[in-house]
Amino acid sequence: MLVLQATKGVSVHTFDANGCVASSTVIISNNRLNHGLTLTPDGKTLYASSETTAWSWSYDAATMKATNQQTVVKGISTGIHSTRTMLVVPQAPNYVLLQAGSNGNWDYASGSPSAGRAIVKVFDMSKVPSGGYDYNTGGAVLGYGLRNEVALAFDPAGNVWGAENSGDVSTAVKGTEGSTC
């Protein structure tokens, strides 16, 4: 299992017969990574992001190693929503969705795609320019005016869905009691 831990990086975890974590290894050490993590269907390319940049790595599941880091998107607009959701399009794995949230509850400028906020864009990873795409001017707009669209997923028909991460008031969630690991 691959896990992106904000301010740490990406780690890979293996499990024993009881379903408990048997080993954990950091494969990408980058304290800027925050939320976006996706893998191509063949498991060979890993994508992750920080607030302003997205990268790709060649991934080898057998050796649990990520190599050949490349900047694929840069200049992602910042705002109050610093997390990024990334998702490889399963039916077309050269395409990656990348989301950036709004700059506030009432981010009027995001009514225009050129603001680069409150938007989900699609990038063709087979045509990444040297140094990476510029988020505001590169890629294609999938949807905009989307305050903080997270948890992007595809249904069996190939439609993409997202969860609107609404409201800026957070609540604490308690962990599960009685773990056997």
Establish how many alpha carbons lie within 13 A of residue 82's alpha carbon, considering only the half-sphere containing its beta carbon.
Answer: 7
The larger pLDDT score, comparing residue 45 to residue 180, is at: 45
Domains of the chain with bracketed CATH: 2-164 (2.120.10.30)
Q: Of 8-12, 136-140, 163-167, 171-175, give the lowest mean pLDDT range.
A: 171-175
Lowest mean pLDDT among 57-66, 77-86, 123-132, 140-149: 77-86
User: Which one, of 119, 54, 117, lies nearest residue 88 by Cα?
Assistant: 54
pLDDT range class, residue 6, cuts 50, 70, 90: confident
% of the chain at pLDDT higher than 70? 91
Pairing type for strands 65-74 and 133-134 reads: parallel
| Number of CB atoms found within 10 A of residue 140's CB | 10
Instruction: State the Cα–Cα distance between residues 116 and 160, nearest whole angstrom.
Output: 20
Q: How confident is the model at residue 173 (pLDDT cuts 50, 70, 90)?
A: very low
Structure tokens belonging to residue 118 = 């409150």
User: What is the mean predicted confidence (pLDDT) over 50-56?
Assistant: 94
Query: How far is Cα 139 from Cα 36, in angstroms, rounded to an integer?
Result: 17
Give the model's pLDDT for residue 170.
47
88-140 pLDDT, tens digit per residue, is 999 999 999 999 888 877 778 888 888 888 889 999 999 999 999 999 999 99
Which pLDDT band, with edges at 50, 70 and 90, does 172 fall under?
very low
Higher-scoring residue by pLDDT: 5, 56: 56
